Structure formats: C-alpha cells, structure tokens
Amino acid sequence: MRILLLSILLTISFSVFSQDSKEFFKQAQTKYNAGDYKAAIELYTKAIKADPENLDAVLQRGFAYGLIEDYKAAIADYTTVINKNNDHIWAYISRGSAYNKTKDYNKAINDFNKVIQLDPKNTEAYNNRGWAKKFLGNKKGACADWKKSKKLGNKEAKIILKNNHC
C-alpha cells in the first residue's frame, strides 16, 4: 500500500513539474522572441529546474546565452544537451559556433566534424568549419570547406569564397 501511494505521489509530482516546465518554457519563448534574452534565460532556468530532462529549454537557454555573448554558459548548455543526446546536430553546430567565438578553433572543428559525420550535406557545418580553419591559418582547408558548401547549394558560400580569394 505504501509503495502504491508513493508511486501515485511521484507520478502526480512529475506531472506538475512537467506542466510547470512547459509553462515556463512558453513564457521564456515569448521573452526570447521579443529580444529580452536575460528574462528568457531566467524562465528557461525555471523550466529546467521543474524538469531537468527538458532539453529544448536547455538548448534554447544556450541560444539566449550566446545572444548576450556569454559563450561559456552557452557551451555548458550545449554540452549538457550533447551528453544526453549525442546525435543532436543543432547542439553541435551551436557549440562549435560558440567555440569559434571564443577562439577555441580546434574544438569548433571537432564539433563541425561531428555534424558532417551525422549530416554530410550540412552546409552550415562546412561554412563554420571553414572559418575555424581560416583562423588557424589553414586557408586551403577553409577554401575546400566553403567550396563543398557552395557545391551543396549554399549561396552564402559563394560570397565567402569571393571575399576570401579562394
């Protein structure tokens, strides 16, 4: 009887947490879409506290941290998502971009390599990996990535190639 009662109470509390998490997430999205990233971060944090498995809230909070240029916090959130879902392409792209912003180009390249492994036609990964290679002094490698991106249909890559004299 005690076990049944405990099981029912846990089910109810998880349901309440889940509802709270969804409501906080919805409010956070409204703030995020309005450009109030700091308020969005607070609400995403509440959503995560209510449901630690809410990876959408963790990812979105990472995006918001990136937009206020708190790349360390953004990287931590993207890493949390990756640790729970090793195939999450957007978490790798976003973390790689944050690594580029912090000039940790080798880690950025590793993340973009993972994206390309998961999705060989991901032009954003080729473009961003190209930037990391360029900043490491590997112009030939950068140009190769941008050419691949252009070949896959990315129009931005054409401009990047021209501006970087590839």
Separation of alpha carbons 79 and 82, rounded Å: 5
Is the Cα torsion angle 100, 114, 160, 155 positive or negative in sign?
negative
Q: State which of 85, 117, 146 marks the end of a domain.
A: 85
Both 36 and 97 in one domain: the answer is no
Residue 101 vs residues 63, 69, 143: alpha-carbon distances, Å: 13, 9, 20
Q: Say what the pLDDT of residue 20 is.
A: 84
Separation of alpha carbons 152 and 132, rounded Å: 19
- Counting Cβ atoms within 10 Å, is residue 9 exposed (0-12), middle (13-18) or buried (19+)? exposed
Q: pLDDT tens-digit profile of 26-67?
A: 998 999 899 999 999 999 999 999 999 899 999 999 999 999
- Position 18 confidence tier, pLDDT thresholds 50, 70, 90: low
Both 164 and 150 in one domain: the answer is yes
Range of the structural domain that residue 139 is part of: 86-166
Is 8 among the domain residues?
no
Q: pLDDT tens-digit profile of 81-135?
A: 999 999 999 999 999 999 999 999 999 999 999 999 999 999 999 999 999 999 9
Q: What is the mean pLDDT of residues 18-23?
A: 77
Q: φ, ψ for residue 120 (rounded to 5)?
A: -60, -10
Q: Residue 129's closest CA among 121, 143, 153?
A: 143
Q: State which of 85, 112, 127 marks the end of a domain.
A: 85
Are 55 and 84 contacting, i.e. CB atoms less than 8 angstroms apart?
A: yes
